[in-house]
A = this chain, B = another copy of it.
Amino acid sequence: MIRFDCDYLEGAYPKILKRIVETNYEQTPGYSNDDYTKSAIEKIKNVCKRDDIDVHILVGGTQTNLVVISSILKPYQAVICVDTGHINVHEAGAVESSGHKIISVKSSDGKITAKQINDIAKIYSEDEAPEHMVMPKLVFISLPTECGTNYTKSELNDIYNACKKNNMYLYIDGARLGYGLVAKDTDLKIQDIPNLCDVFYIGGTKQGALFGEAVVIVNEKLKGDFRYYIKQNGGLLAKGRLLGIQFDTLMEDDLYFKISVQAVNFAMKIKEALLEKGYKLLYDSYTNQQFVIMNNNKLNELKKDFSFYKVCNIDEENTAIRICTSWATTEENVNKLIEKL
């Protein structure tokens, strides 16, 4: 069985494991107060070309979203996102569990628009009795989106301006940030991100780490006491150096982006094959996730050798699936898949 379900099927990029093994007997202070974490943070600052950012590395994505969002919002404030947003659908209500409403907006491709933000702001601020409603205060987007689509620099700029105009914050979930930034449908670079949002995270779990997500806080107002939030939510890893070592490795010699390029190249190869063979795509993605509509007979045939993530039933005869590549995908397996398509 060759798996294309997701981008967290294997362990970690080998160099990461090598360094974990090499440093195993070193004694380091706990809770991310170690030198590896310090070094990783320095490298992230360099990559982002910003010295004035705060960086905290957490273990997983749901945890990161929960901690970041609950640290930003007051009890009566809400977060806006698209209906397919990860926090809206696949985090078991973690945001609501921390007390906050998610205001979801319709989207056909996983992207929100500046206009949608402005429209919501208008509805909530122009009401005669706004305190009977929640107050939208944060916009949550994923880059790339859950649909594999991307924002351009101009689009992200518009979104961020809409946030600022409406006195809201912008938070970017970068679980697959590398796979997004190397795609050909965006002109965004990693160093643009801190200038176009208030807080974002650089995903590790799906990008070659065993686990780990690096939160980058840009907005001065959101920096204070963040470690309290991490600890209170059970997110402060005792052996924090594991997080430090992983990001220190990923951020060195452009490894994070090299990994991303390879995975996206494989995805593009699969996409081309799909299009050539007449498959219909659910979304037009240029990142490591490809969404394809497949006849159930064909799908069942493929399932003998491959596994995929089922997105939804399209109709009685067709199913939408996701095909994912990652740092660990091999050319051999990609070719085998293409052959059988």
- Residues of chain A touching chain B, judged by Cβ–Cβ distance below 8 Å, are 1-3, 5-6, 8-12, 14, 17, 20-21, 23-31, 59-67, 70-71, 74-76, 78, 89-94, 96-102, 128-129, 131-135, 205-206, 210-211, 225, 227-239, 242, 310, 328
Contact = CB atoms under 8 A, between A and B. Distances in A.
28 contacts: A2-B27, A3-B27, A9-B29, A11-B20, A11-B24, A11-B239, A11-B242, A25-B328, A59-B234, A62-B236, A75-B98, A76-B225, A76-B228, A78-B93, A93-B99, A93-B232, A94-B233, A96-B100, A97-B99, A101-B102, A131-B231, A131-B236, A132-B236, A210-B239, A211-B237, A211-B239, A211-B242, A233-B233
Contact of A12 (B11, B24, B29, B131): B24
B23 A74 contact: no
A311 to B, nearest CB: 11
A34 to B, nearest CB: 10
Nearest to A4: B27
Contacts of A233: 63, 66, 94, 97, 233-234
Contacts of A71: 75
The A contact surface, by secondary structure, is: loop
Contacts of A238: 8, 60-61, 205-206, 211
A74 B98 CA distance: 12
Contacts of A11: 20-21, 23-26, 239, 242
A61 B24 CA distance: 21
Contacts of A26: 10-11
A51 to B, nearest CB: 23
A91 B20 contact: no
Contact of A237 (B59, B133, B227): B59
B91 A101 contact: no
Nearest to A7: B238
A242 B66 contact: no
A92 B27 contact: no
B70 A75 contact: yes
A149 B53 CA distance: 44
B10 A62 contact: no
**Among A93, A102, A129, residue most surrounded by chain B Cβ atoms (within 10 Å):** A93
A137 B299 CA distance: 33
Contacts of A74: 225
Nearest to A6: B30
